[in-house]
Amino acid sequence: MCSGEISKRALDLTQDAAELNPANYSVWHHRRFLLKKLNSDLKQEMQYCRSVIEEHPKNYQVWQHRRALVEALNDGTKELRLTEMILSQDAKNYHAWQHRQWAIRTFKTYEGELTYIDRLLQEDIRNNSAWNQRFFIVTTFPAHEGIFNDGDGKLSTASTPILSGTILQRELNYTLDAIKKVTRNESAWNYLRGLLDNCDENEVDALRSKIYSSCTEILKSDDSSPYLLSTMMDLEREEGSKQGDRIKMQNAIDRCNTLANEHDVIRKEYWNYMADCIQVQMSSM
């Protein structure tokens, strides 16, 4: 690097150095510099990069190198297949998911992504990365871009990623079905909270009501899932505060006490703290 040598020999040396330490950022940076100066075949470099990723799938530097190559070629057609292959070996590889999201956002290659996510969740319904990817897809791309259909053959004209209408109901039903299968699946409960926090304000009350009703039905089966109880507590606290309903606020306090003493004892101090906070709110009502 100091000598300023620009040659095939120098490029080969970067490969030797990468083999010794594939996490060396300076090696990859200098390799990109030489590739550009030598006007090298980037498609061939893509193949080399893939081989390194297959051997070192959690190496941030080589994923960054891959992104730079894809940007230079302006071709993201191979990225979904590559990341799918890596994720088949480790479904929670953060670097692969990050690269996949970047490629989808950059090249709008989201067709069929929900089908892929469904397959992953069928294999492992607790796959938090797959739930995260689903949330990324449904909130990143406006419906009018063609990813979603309103059920009547017409595309939604929504211009913001706020969830509403048929899309919101579909995601709600999908999540509730998953929760009923495995009620202690924290990922699905987090997704449910995401729907609440990102839905159209005109639909939030109806959504809260439907979620609470579903939670009540699940509770009848004597389910002691802390995620179920904490969700009900959140809804009771929020609705009670909004409506000035002391009964709902007291119900929320009771949920906190149940969680602290029976179903989520490891977080006892947190639930006691929440109960105290709700009690303070009640005092000011």
How far is the C-alpha of 259 from the C-alpha of 226, rounded, in Å? Answer: 7
* Region class of 56: left (phi > 0), else alpha (psi between -120 and 50), else beta: beta
Q: Give whole-number Cα distances, 48 to 42, 45, 268, in Å.
A: 10, 5, 52
Where do the structural domains in the chain lie, given as residue ranges?
Answer: 1-109
The candidate with the shortest Cα–Cα distance to 181, out of 137, 121, 119, is 121
Q: Which residues contact 174 (CB under 8 A, 6 or more apart)?
A: none
Identify whether the C-beta of residue 29 lies closer than 8 Å to the C-beta of residue 68.
no
Q: What is the DSSP letter of 163?
A: B
Identify whether the C-beta of residue 107 lies closer than 8 Å to the C-beta of residue 70.
no
Residues in the chain: 285
CATH number of 1-109: 1.25.40
Residue 18, pLDDT > 90, answer: yes
Q: Tell me: the pLDDT tens digits for 65-115? A: 999 999 999 999 999 999 999 999 999 999 999 999 999 999 999 999 999
Identify whether the C-beta of residue 237 lies closer than 8 Å to the C-beta of residue 252.
yes
The candidate with the shortest Cα–Cα distance to 214, out of 227, 232, 198, 196, is 232
Q: What is the DSSP letter of 164?
A: -
The candidate with the shortest Cα–Cα distance to 5, out of 27, 49, 38, is 38
Q: Tell me: the pLDDT tens digits for 151-193? A: 333 334 444 468 989 999 999 999 999 999 999 999 999 999 9
* Residue 43 among the catalytic residues: no
For residue 156, the number of C-alpha atoms closer than 13 Å in the C-beta half-sphere is: 20
Residue 239, pLDDT > 50, answer: yes
**CA gyration radius for the chain?**
25
Q: Give the pLDDT mean for 231-238.
A: 96
Per the residue annotation, which of 8, 58, 220, 248 is the catalytic one?
Answer: 58
